[in-house]
Amino acid sequence: MRAMDLPSQCCVSGPGDRRRRGFTLIELLVVIAIIAILAAMLLPALSKAKTKAEGIGCLNNLRQLQIAWYVYKDDNSDRLALNSPMVTATTNWVNGNLTWSASNPDNTNTAKLTEGLLGPYTAKTLGIYKCPADRYAAGNGPRVRSVSMNDFMARSDAYGNSSGYSDGVGIKGSYKRYSQLLRPAQLWVFLDEHPDSIDDGLFFQAGPGHWENVPASYHNGACGFSFADGHSETRKWRDAKTKQPVTRAQPWAVNVLPGTPPYPDQTWIRQRTFNQ
């Protein structure tokens, strides 16, 4: 047989050959459903990872402020940075009084941070005064600060003298020098304050069962703290009453904790606020 009589290979077909085809509608829907399931599984993990990263960033900011606070006392004969916003015409560790109002220039005034006593010790780095998870803006823009200081650290009373004050339950006094801190690892200095509660740079505590200023709960119901020995940590709140929602209103009329004692979160803070 001559070669020209052989059937061409390209023309040979068999029962296994099929013309290439696309997805059917059912197959496409199955693929979309699988992608949706995978996304639903991954998104919570990504959200937790983001929250974790913000918590780490928050602790780093608090630690940087804590270092600045510590170095300040070394340069000032063991005296702590003043934390007495009720005394007028006085420079404190930070200045300014935050609100939700669009007419309040302090909300966005970064000079209130950099011109404070700790400004020169922070290289005037603005970001360390605010938790990365604080994305609540006032009427005139994002506020510059979410951090406050322990009211027993270098606090003078409303008349400007240094005798200290009472917190409403018989604890009197205020630390003026670092050498007065008997257990610095058990005394907090800075914390994240609730967006509705934050005003001046001082975190004031009232009697048990009552929040005057309210701690934040940005990190899955937890709050960042720094301590006088230099370490920082996150405290997970145990009491649901501590994790108050953000209402964009100062909480003076609603800051009484409901129910009866014990109040474990408030007790934890108070035990690390002032050691007599």
Task: Please report the sign of the dihedral spanned by the C-alpha atoms of residue 160, residue 166, residue 167, residue 173.
Answer: positive
pLDDT per residue as tens digits for the range 105-151: 999 999 999 999 999 999 878 999 999 999 999 999 999 999 999 98
pLDDT given at position 205? 76
Average pLDDT, the chain: 80
Residue 229 belongs to some domain of the structure: yes
Range of the domain at 50: 25-271
Residue 20 located in a structural domain: no
Q: Is the residue at 225 inside a domain?
A: yes
190 has pLDDT over 80: yes
**Burial (CB count within 10 angstroms: exposed 0-12, middle 13-18, buried 19+), residue 57:** middle
Counts for the chain of helices (H) and strands (E), in that order: 3, 7
Please report which confidence band the pLDDT of residue 241 belongs to, taking 50, 70 and 90 as the band edges: confident
Q: In this structure, is residue 1 part of a structural domain? A: no
More confident residue, 121 or 163: 121
Residue 240 and residue 15: Cα distance in Å, rounded?
A: 69
Q: How many domains does the chain have?
A: 1
Q: Is residue 109 part of a domain?
A: yes
Residue 112 domain-assigned (yes or no): yes
Does residue 210 fall inside a structural domain? yes
CB contact set of 147 (below 8 Å; sequence gap of 6+): 61, 62, 65, 129, 130, 131, 190, 191, 192, 193, 201
